[in-house]
Structures are given as C-alpha cells and as structure tokens.
Chains A and B, each alone.
Chain A
Amino acid sequence: MWRGDYFFLIQNLVEKDFKVRYRNMSLGVLWSVLNPLIMMGVMTFIFTKIFGQGGKGFPLSVLCGLVPFNFFTLAWVTGTTSILDNTGLVKRVPVPRQVFPIASVLSNGLNLLIQIGLLLAMVVVFGNGVNIYWLWLPLIWGLEFLFVMGLALAFSAINIYVRDTRYVIESTNMVLFWLVPVFYSFSAIPVRFRGIYQINPVAALVLMMRNVLMEGHAPLASTLVRLAIVSAVMFVTGWWVFGKLKDGFYARM
C-alpha cells in the first residue's frame, strides 16, 4: 500500500504535464490565448458577415461558449489517455492509480485559468464589466471539474481494456460542438429540447457563464442543482468504474 503525500504528488504530476506541454513551444502559454481568440474571430466573421446574424455581443458570447467547450474536450481526451500515457509509472510505482486521471484534468485547469483570465478581461473591456455574480464562477467551475474528473476516471480505465475508446471520445467531441450552444444562444433552442440541454453539464456551464458574464444575473437555481447532481453522480460512477477495473491494468499494459 502506498502511503505518502497525495497533495504533493498530484501537484508534481500537474506541474510535469504543464511543463512538458509548454516547454517545447516557443510561444508557450501565449497559444492558450491565441487559440480561442482565433476561433472567436473566425466564427464572428462567418456568423455576422456571411449569415448576417448575431449582434454586438456575439464575439463575447462565442468566447463564453468556446472556453468551457475547449476545456471540456481537452480534459476529457487527455484524462482518458492519462493511464496509458503514464504506463512507465503505472507499471513501476505503486501509487494509487486514481491520481493520474485527476492530475491530468487539473493540469488542463492551468490552461483554463489563462483562458478565463482572457475572457474576464474581454468582458471588462468590451462588455458589462465586473459584477457581484462573478462570485458564482468558482462554484460552477468546481462542479464542472468534478464532472470531468468522473468522466476521466471512468474512461481512462475503459481505455486500458478497449484502446479504441479515445477515438470514440474524439468523435463524440465533434458532435458535441454542435450540441453545446457555443455559437447560438440558449433562447434560440426550441422549448421542448431545453430540458436535454440543461442536463448536459457542458451546455449548462455555457449557459451559466453567459448568465453571469453577459446578462449580469445569478445562474438559475434549477440549472445549478441539476449540474451539481449530474456532476456528483458522474464522479461517484467514475470512481466506482475505476475501482472495478484498476486491478486489471497491470496485465493489460
């Protein structure tokens, strides 16, 4: 049984992921800022100039969708491959295996912080400025992290048994891009489909980001409760699936 400092270990794994990812890029962390800005620019051009839709707030609205969506897809994929990516450690060091997907999701969090910083700066400069409801953001994002960690735990374990898993997830993410209101607003969705959107934690996150940052009001309690329940259930399920499968890792890696 491994006994040690979990916090120190996870912190080190997160730092490793982050350093390894950015050390070989000459622009480093700047990529984190450039990527969503470019996407925002392209989408704004297409929807306002070509389709002739979307108003003044469109670029910010897109960014409110892109930042959560990018985080979700990246964290899900890297979380899923995390056990396999750390084969050397999993087969040689008896640390509790759960640390790898969790650290992987958290290391995407550093990238996310930079993007949220960008988003908040844009809101202050071009949008409505700071309001008291920003205080909801840590809670909303905390729930989202819980959700993604649950996914990462479950899928990183499944990926050891079925190596095609990551490709299934990459395809799912492409579909999800259209099913999360990134470039359309929540009010454009017909009422009968809204229930589905509110259960989808990524869509709920986008919705609440816009509530807080653009519309300047607190997120709806009902949406928040749904997100909390879905996230908690996902985390518990992920932890359980991982626990069921982890004893088979060694022989299959």
Chain B
Amino acid sequence: MLIEFQNVSKCFPHSAGRQLLRTHITRWFGRVHREPFWALRDVSFRLEDGESLAIVGSNGAGKSTILSLAAGLTRPTRGKVIVQGRIAALLELGSGFHPDLTGAENLVLNAALLGLSRKKTNQLFDRIVEFSGIGEFIDDPLRTYSSGMVMRLAFSVAIQCEPDVLLIDEVLAVGDAQFQEKCREALAGFRRSGKAMLFVSHSAAAVREMCDRAIWIDHGSVVMQGRVDEVLDAYQGRVVL
C-alpha cells in the first residue's frame, strides 16, 4: 500500500480570498457567516504498489484537491490520508522554476525540492539533461526557453529522481510528439518497475492507456470506482445536465 484515503473530507473556508486587515475586522464585527465549501466528501480509496489509478471527473469535481492531499500540501478536514514512500508531484509543471536562473540551476533546485541529496543530484544530472533533450541550452536562463522546453525539463527531473509514486495532473500533453512518446515509454518503464501512479487527465485515451483502475469523482464525492474501462464507459456515457 502506498497511498490510502480513509473517509477523507476537505473543507475550504469561503473567506479564503482576500486576506486584509479590513476583511478580518469586518468579519469580527459584522459576523458575516458564509457556508464553507466542501471540496471533498467522504472519499476512500487505496493505491497499491505497481498500480496506476486515474481520477476522472468534470472541472471542479475535486480531482486536484485529491492530488494536493496525496502530495501532503494540505491536510484533510476529516478522515485520514496515509502515504508511504517518496512522492513526486507533477502539478503544474515548472511551478518551482525561476525564469532568471539557468536550466541547470533550476534542475538542481528542483531536485533539492524533491528531497534529493547533493550526491544523488550530481549522479543524476547528466541523465536528466539527456532525457530532457535540452542540450546546450541547459546553461541559458529559463526565460529564454520555450514553454515546451520548460515542461520537458520539469518532467525529466521528476521522472529521473526515482520516486515511489508519481502524481500527474494533466501534464502529458507536454512537448512535441517525439517527447510525448519518450514520456509514455518512461512512464511504462516506471510502472513495470513496480512503482505507482495517481493520474488526473481529461484525455480518455491517455487514461485508458496508462491506468488499471479509475475513480470517478463528482462534486467531491466518489460516484464509482473500479476497472478503468468500466468507469470510463460509465463516465463518458453520463447524462450531462
């Protein structure tokens, strides 16, 4: 078992928007009471070694909240999230990058953020650069990169740093066809080596190809979970209001 959600609910306070002194004062005096927003309600599932699980659902269903909880970025309001092993989250690729640093500097910083030691980073450096296909541009500042190059670098760091679980949020539409093929191969190899993936994507084809099981989430609740074909057939055949 690598990730387990036990009856997880997540609530976000509605007032989370503006954090100004004025907001706090009016709240104290005005006693404006707004209903909190439940992003997840009573979600339970398990992700085992070597398994790859897709989360499907429409926008705002709570898919990203599940990934944030699994990545340990925020805590559940109720229930329990248990995580074993090292997780690499590919959420908005490149969000840890700084445009003024070179590709190489960003690579090392990102590796450190993922928890790698200096020694390990030095060992992996050449492999990451090679996988990314960025070549001699690696010493140029990141702001000179195309968005495809940034994505390739971020993906390469995450996949090469040997995590136990990969969290992937809608990022496989990265780079050109050739690099996408490389990503698919890397992910397939990752699965063969017994590692696990939690996968969010709107592309049914990618989900069917990459995943064994799927969970369908709607308005924060689990509608269905099971084999990827069954869940996707039901999801795609749903009545859209």
User: Which A positions have Cβ atoms within 8 angstroms of B?
Assistant: 1-5, 8-9, 11-13, 15-16, 19-20, 23-24, 88-89, 91-95, 160-164, 247, 250-252
New contact pairs (14) apart from A8-B117, A92-B96, A247-B74, CB-CB < 8 Å: A4-B114, A8-B112, A8-B116, A12-B109, A20-B98, A24-B100, A93-B89, A94-B72, A94-B87, A95-B113, A160-B19, A162-B20, A247-B75, A251-B12
Q: Are B95 and A2 in contact (CB under 8 A)?
A: no
Q: Are A163 and B20 in contact (CB under 8 A)?
A: yes
- Docked Cα-Cα span, A1 to B118, in Å, equals 20
Find residues 14-49 in chain B having any chain A CB closer than 8 Å to their own CB. 16, 18-21, 24
Q: Are A12 and B86 in contact (CB under 8 A)?
A: no
Contacts of A162 in B (CB 8 A): 19-21, 24
Q: Which residue of B lies closest to A167 (CB)?
A: B21
Query: B206 an interface residue at 8 Å Cβ cutoff?
Result: no
Query: B6 an interface residue at 8 Å Cβ cutoff?
Result: no
Query: B91 an interface residue at 8 Å Cβ cutoff?
Result: yes
Query: B71 an interface residue at 8 Å Cβ cutoff?
Result: yes
User: Which DSSP category, helix, strand, loop or mixed, fits chain B's interface?
Assistant: loop
Closest-CB distance, B189 to chain A (whole angstroms): 24
User: Which DSSP category, helix, strand, loop or mixed, fits chain A's interface?
Assistant: helix
The contact size tier of chain B is 35 or more
- Docked Cα-Cα span, A93 to B72, in Å, equals 8
Q: Are A251 and B74 in contact (CB under 8 A)?
A: yes
- Docked Cα-Cα span, A161 to B105, in Å, equals 32
Contacts of A247 in B (CB 8 A): 74-75
- Docked Cα-Cα span, A164 to B23, in Å, equals 11
Contacts of B86 in A (CB 8 A): 3
18 pairs, A vs B, C-beta closer than 8 Å: A8-B117, A8-B118, A11-B112, A12-B112, A13-B112, A15-B105, A16-B101, A16-B109, A20-B101, A88-B96, A92-B96, A94-B73, A164-B21, A250-B68, A250-B74, A251-B13, A251-B16, A252-B19
Contacts of A24 in B (CB 8 A): 100
Contacts of A19 in B (CB 8 A): 100-101, 105
- Docked Cα-Cα span, A163 to B74, in Å, equals 21
- Docked Cα-Cα span, A1 to B75, in Å, equals 11
Scan B104-120; emit 1 where CB is below 8 A from any A CB, else 0. Answer: 01001100111111100
Contact of B83 among A1, A4, A95 (CB under 8 A): A1
Contacts of B89 in A (CB 8 A): 92-94
Q: Are A5 and B118 in contact (CB under 8 A)?
A: yes
- Docked Cα-Cα span, A9 to B123, in Å, equals 17
Query: B92 an interface residue at 8 Å Cβ cutoff?
Result: yes
Find residues 79-94 in chain B having any chain A CB closer than 8 Å to their own CB. 83, 86-87, 89, 91-92
- Docked Cα-Cα span, A252 to B16, in Å, equals 5
Closest-CB distance, A253 to chain B (whole angstroms): 9
Q: Are B72 and A91 in contact (CB under 8 A)?
A: no
Most chain A Cβ neighbours within 10 Å, of B12, B20, B21, B86: B21
